Amino acid sequence: MLSLEVRINNRTNRWTNVTNDFLNITSRNHSSGRKYWQTLRGVENYIVKAVKTYPWLTRENFRINGTEEERRKPQTSTTDVEVHVGDVFISVWGYSMTLVDFYQVTKVSKTGKSVNVRKLARKVVDGAISSPQGGRVAPVKDCFVGEELRNKRVRGDYGVNPRPMFVVNDCATAHLVEEIDPNGYFMCDWD
C-alpha cells in the first residue's frame, strides 16, 4: 500500500500524513483516517489534483511511502468442483415464505466459469406447499419451465469446502446439488 505525506511549510521539515480530511479534493467520499493507494499512478493523479487546487503546493511538497501492490492475479479456477451439463442447482429463497427453485445446466462455457441453465419443474413429494405447514418438493430432471438463463457466472460459495454457485437475480442464489435428496426439500408458499 502506498501512503502520502505532505510538507505544508517549506521552511520547516515537518511532514504530515495525507488524510481524507486534508486536501479533500477527490470526488469520492472516503471514511476518515489516512488515505492509501494501491498503485503509483493513483498517487500521482492525487498529487496533480492537489497542485492544481492549491497552487502554493509543488511536487516537492509530497513524499510517497510504501510499495506498490501487485495487480490482482486472475483466478485459474473458481472452485475445486467442476460443473457439467445436466448438473442441478437449488435456490432456496423468500421473505415470509420459503420458495425452492431448481435449475439444470444446459451448457458450460469453454473456460468453465459460466453456464447456461433452465428452470426445472418440481413435484410435491410430501405435504402441501400451499399450507402453513408446508411440504417437500423435488426436481423433475429434464422437464424445463421458462426460458434459458444465459452466461451465469459460476463461483465458489463461502463455506469451508466451497461449492459452485451462481446469482439467479437480486433476491436469490443457486448452489450445486451433489446428490438430490429423495425426500425432497422443504417449501412453503403460504403467506
Q: What is the predicted pLDDT for the residue at 44?
A: 87
**Angstrom distance (rounded) from CA 39 to CA 2:** 7
Of residues 24 and 187, more confidence is placed in 187
The whole-number average pLDDT for the span 126-149 is 90
- What one-character-per-residue DSSP string does 59-98 give? GGGEEEEE-PPPPPPPPS-S-SS---TT-EEEEEE-SSSB
- What one-character-per-residue DSSP string does 82-151 give? ---TT-EEEEEE-SSSBEEEEEEEEEE-SSSSEEEEEEEEEEEEEE-TTSTT-EEEEEEEEEEEEEEEEE
**Angstrom distance (rounded) from CA 137 to CA 186:** 7
Of residues 176 and 72, more confidence is placed in 176
Percent of the chain past pLDDT 90, that is, above it, reads 33
The whole-number average pLDDT for the span 54-77 is 71
Please answer whether residues 51 and 146 qualify as being in contact, where contact means their C-beta atoms are separated by less than 8 angstroms.
no
> Is the confidence at residue 92, as pLDDT, over 80?
yes
Q: What is the predicted pLDDT for the residue at 43?
A: 84
Q: What is the predicted pLDDT for the residue at 22?
A: 58
- Which residue type does 47 have? I
Of residues 72 and 46, more confidence is placed in 46
Of these ranges, 50-59, 120-129, 155-164, the one predicted with the greatest mean pLDDT is: 120-129
Q: What is the predicted pLDDT for the residue at 77?
A: 46
Tell me the pLDDT band of 150, cut-offs 50, 70 and 90.
very high
Q: Which three cell numbers stand for residue 28?
A: 469520492
Q: What is the predicted pLDDT for the residue at 78?
A: 46
Among 62-66, 74-78, 126-130, 144-148, the least confident range: 74-78
